[in-house]
Amino acid sequence: MERLESYVLGRWQPAAGELATVVDPTHETPLGQVGSHGIDFQAVLAYGREKGGPALRALTFAERGKLLAGIAAAIHEKRDELIDVSIQSGGTTRGDAKFDIDGAIGTLTYYAGLGEKLGSRTYLLDGDVVQLGRTPRFSGLHVRVPRRGVAVHVNAFNFPAWGMMEKAACALLAGMPVLEKPGTPTALLAWRIARLVIEKVKLPDGAFQVVIGSLGDTLDHMGPQDVLAFTGSSATGAKLRGHPNLVRHNVRVNVEADSLNAAVLAPDVDTGSETFGLFLNNVVTDMTQKTGQKCTAVRRILVPSDALNSVRDELVAALARIVVGDPADKLTRMGPLASKSQLDEVRAGIERFAQSGTLACGGSKPVHAKGYFVAPTLVVARDGREPAFHREEVFGPVAVLLPYSGDAREAAAIVNLGGGGLVCSAYSNDAAWSTTFALEVAPWHGRVWLASDKSAEQSLAPGMVLPQMVHGGPGRAGGGEELGAERGLAFYQQRTAIQGFQGHLQTL
Ligand code: NAP
């Protein structure tokens, strides 16, 4: 069995100490061992700060962008092999594997292009020069300079490729070295990618370190110039955010947590329309893509009361066509969950949901004798405001159908019971309904996605996170923000107001 290594202090360090086993979730066979015992994390942070940071800061945006292009090319060159690793170690179908790996390549390529556009600068200006004195002689402006610490990235298991690279792309382009920590169950793919990055791309020493396994006491050694970007469950996010050393030093923390994303059908949408077809397709894709282990997956489906039964029947019929099985098989549309603990949690969640609503399809029973499989599961709520469905994220192919009156404000009020989400999608051809709804849910969401017949043909799926648009959300979604083109760099930079003689400011 392979022992996965960490890449720290300029060398590969094999797994040591108490080892965790990475398992193929389809066949339940062990694939590798993970452990980070013996790593001196204080030294790892110092190495990043002292070696990687200065080297990256000496590069222009265009040069840093070239490094990102190099990483994208290295991943692309081995894309087929990486897809196979994802299928085996993550239980992803080929399509799901591409979603993750191509997402990584696309995001790196986007930020490589942004680097080229930002050109020969090493820092950014933020806004215009402002006159502060009686005349422009005494003025002020804002600069954004790279922070002089290490960007520690703690990633969830569900996107080992994209999750690691969307964070690394922004940090490296901003000029900060990274310490990546992938989620353990799918660490095999992250480790393979890390190997490619180290072997194929000439990154400055200390710019890219990866810990496969536990982060040890890293958080105890972080300082005011370091940043922590976390993706995972709300519970872990809250624990890390409240870490006494991070609080003491006011370490900047970004949390991307869970989200009860909603899809809302407006009353004006005819069942024969393009928008209705898009609604059905998107909901089924979102429930089953990556076996529902997607932070942006639809968890709540709001439908006008009088359409509830017909929508339920259409969804049940569509979900019945999803072939659940070995993801290596071409006919399979949905693979297993990524780990045994995921399976246990999803089954328990389905059982809790079944107590507050009616199971329309699926359930918690085993689907195959071996592997961490669960059936696509739809629960119908008796009451749209039933608290159980606005409280808990079941991180699998599980969603609940909720009735509402058809009123945009009422729909938004029900959606907002989720306490803050990453994305909310709405399907309507009525401009007034759409815009009222969008503005009512906007304070509680990072992204609002609107479908109509006019844009149906061109629209990208709501579950797709794009580097051009911000990703994150308030409240239970973690309160964080990532990506969004140049906005994604701000977390890794210090914005400083510089006030002084206009002539000096012009030099900046
Ligand atoms: P998790 O259990 O919270 O773990 C997330 C990461 O935190 C993993 O790398 C984990 O490492 C690490 N971790 C756990 N305890 C830690 C500690 N005490 N100190 C330092 N690191 C620690 O979440 P998950 O099961 O991997 O991911 C599923 C969750 O992520 C879902 O709730 C999903 O909604 C959310 N998610 C959110 C987004 C988003 O963008 N908002 C994206 C993807 C997923 P180990 O794996 O080694 O335990």
Determine the atom of ligand 1 nearest the C-alpha atom of 181.
9
Active-site residue, from 5, 170, 180, 295: 295
**Is there a single domain that holds both residue 307 and residue 267?**
yes
Q: Which residues pair with 180 in a beta bridge?
A: 153, 210
Ligand 1 pocket mutation pick from 21, 188, 233, 246 by most atoms within 8 angstroms of CB: 233
> Nearest Cα to 426, choosing from 443, 411, 444, 416?
411
pLDDT range class, residue 16, cuts 50, 70, 90: confident
Residue owning the nearest CA to atom 42 of ligand 1: 295
**Is there a single domain that holds both residue 188 and residue 277?**
no
Q: Is residue 476 part of a domain?
A: no
Query: In angstroms, rounded to a whole number, what is the distance separating the alpha carbons of residues 479 and 475?
Result: 5
pLDDT range class, residue 14, cuts 50, 70, 90: confident
Residue owning the nearest CA to atom 41 of ligand 1: 256
Three-state secondary-structure class, residue 227? strand
Could you tell me where the beta strands, DSSP code E, fall in 345-409? 357-361, 377-381, 398-404
Kindly tell me if the per-residue pLDDT of 15 is higher than 90: no
Q: Is residue 475 part of a domain?
A: no
Q: Is residue 493 part of a domain?
A: yes
> What pLDDT, on the 0 to 100 scale, is given for residue 263?
98
Dihedral over Cα of 347, 348, 354, 356: its sign: negative
Which range marks the domain in which residue 146 is found?
2-257+481-506
Kindly tell me if the per-residue pLDDT of 63 is higher than 90: yes
Query: In angstroms, rounded to a whole number, what is the distance separating the alpha carbons of residues 445 and 422?
Result: 6
How would you list the strands of the sheet with 20-24, edge to edge? 2-3, 29-34, 20-24
pLDDT tens sequence across 165-214: 999 999 999 999 999 999 999 999 999 999 999 999 999 999 999 999 99
**Is there a single domain that holds both residue 121 and residue 236?**
yes
Q: Please check whether residue 253 is in contact with residue 225, taking contact to mean a CB–CB distance below 8 angstroms.
A: no
Task: Assign residue 248 the CATH number of its domain.
Answer: 3.40.605.10
**Is there a single domain that holds both residue 152 and residue 189?**
yes
| In the block, residue with structure tokens 């396994």 | 213
pLDDT tens sequence across 445-456: 999 999 998 888
> What pLDDT, on the 0 to 100 scale, is given for residue 457?
82
Query: In angstroms, rounded to a whole number, what is the distance separating the alpha carbons of residues 338 and 117?
Result: 39
454: Cβ contacts below 8 Å, ≥ 6 apart: 429
Query: In angstroms, rounded to a whole number, what is the distance separating the alpha carbons of residues 499 and 166?
Result: 34
Q: How many domains does the chain fold into?
A: 2
Q: How many CB atoms lie within 10 A of CB 188?
A: 25
Residue owning the nearest CA to atom 32 of ligand 1: 233
**Is there a single domain that holds both residue 124 and residue 244?**
yes
Q: How many CB atoms lie within 10 A of CB 483?
A: 23
Determine the atom of ligand 1 nearest the C-alpha atom of 155.
9
> What pLDDT, on the 0 to 100 scale, is given for residue 367?
86
Q: Can 295 be counted among the known catalytic residues?
A: yes
Determine the atom of ligand 1 nearest the C-alpha atom of 393.
32
Distance 66 CA to ligand 1 centre (A): 30
Q: What is the mean pLDDT of residues 118-135?
A: 95
Distance 342 CA to ligand 1 centre (A): 12
Distance 156 CA to ligand 1 centre (A): 4
Query: In angstroms, rounded to a whole number, what is the distance separating the alpha carbons of residues 372 and 27?
Result: 9
Helix (H) or strand (E) holding 436: helix 431-441
Q: Please check whether residue 115 is in contact with residue 62, taking contact to mean a CB–CB distance below 8 angstroms.
A: yes
Determine the atom of ligand 1 nearest the C-alpha atom of 471.
40
Q: Is residue 86 part of a domain?
A: yes
Residue owning the nearest CA to atom 43 of ligand 1: 295
Tokens of 262: 């909603």
Give residues (CB < 6 A) around ligand 1.
Answer: 154-159, 181, 183-184, 215, 231-233, 236, 239-240, 256-258, 295, 393, 395, 422, 477-478
pLDDT tens sequence across 304-343: 999 999 999 999 999 999 999 999 999 999 999 999 999 9
Q: What is the mean pLDDT of residues 50-59?
A: 98
Tokens of 283: 């909901």
Q: How many CB atoms lie within 10 A of CB 501?
A: 12
Kindly tell me if the per-residue pLDDT of 366 is higher than 90: no
Helix (H) or strand (E) holding 252: strand 252-256
**Is there a single domain that holds both residue 319 and residue 190?**
no
Q: Which residues pair with 33 in a beta bridge?
A: 3, 21
Q: Tell me the backbone φ, ψ of residue 221, rounded to 5 degrees.
A: -110, 5
What percent of the chain clears pLDDT 90, i.e. is strictly above it?
Answer: 93
pLDDT range class, residue 238, cuts 50, 70, 90: very high
What is the residue-averaged pLDDT of the chain? Answer: 96
**Is there a single domain that holds both residue 121 and residue 106?**
yes
**Is there a single domain that holds both residue 210 and residue 317?**
no
> What pLDDT, on the 0 to 100 scale, is given for residue 93?
97
Q: Is residue 473 part of a domain?
A: no
**Is there a single domain that holds both residue 307 and residue 388?**
yes
**Is there a single domain that holds both residue 232 and residue 289?**
no
Burial string for 270-279 (b: 16+ CB within 10 Å, else e) reads: eeebbbbebb
Residue owning the nearest CA to atom 20 of ligand 1: 215
Active-site residue, from 5, 166, 180, 256: 256
Determine the atom of ligand 1 nearest the C-alpha atom of 159.
43
Ligand 1 pocket mutation pick from 231, 296, 344 by most atoms within 8 angstroms of CB: 231
> What pLDDT, on the 0 to 100 scale, is given for residue 1?
78
Task: Assign residue 444 the CATH number of its domain.
Answer: 3.40.309.10
Least confident of 58-62, 178-182, 271-275, 302-306: 271-275
Distance 175 CA to ligand 1 centre (A): 25
> What pLDDT, on the 0 to 100 scale, is given for residue 472?
97
Q: How many CB atoms lie within 10 A of CB 149?
A: 22
Q: What is the mean pLDDT of residues 230-250?
A: 96
Distance 183 CA to ligand 1 centre (A): 6
**Is there a single domain that holds both residue 337 and residue 220?**
no
Q: What is the pTM of this model?
A: 0.95
**Is there a single domain that holds both residue 197 and residue 82?**
yes
Q: What is the mean pLDDT of residues 421-441?
A: 97
Residue owning the nearest CA to atom 14 of ligand 1: 236
Tokens of 205: 């020493």
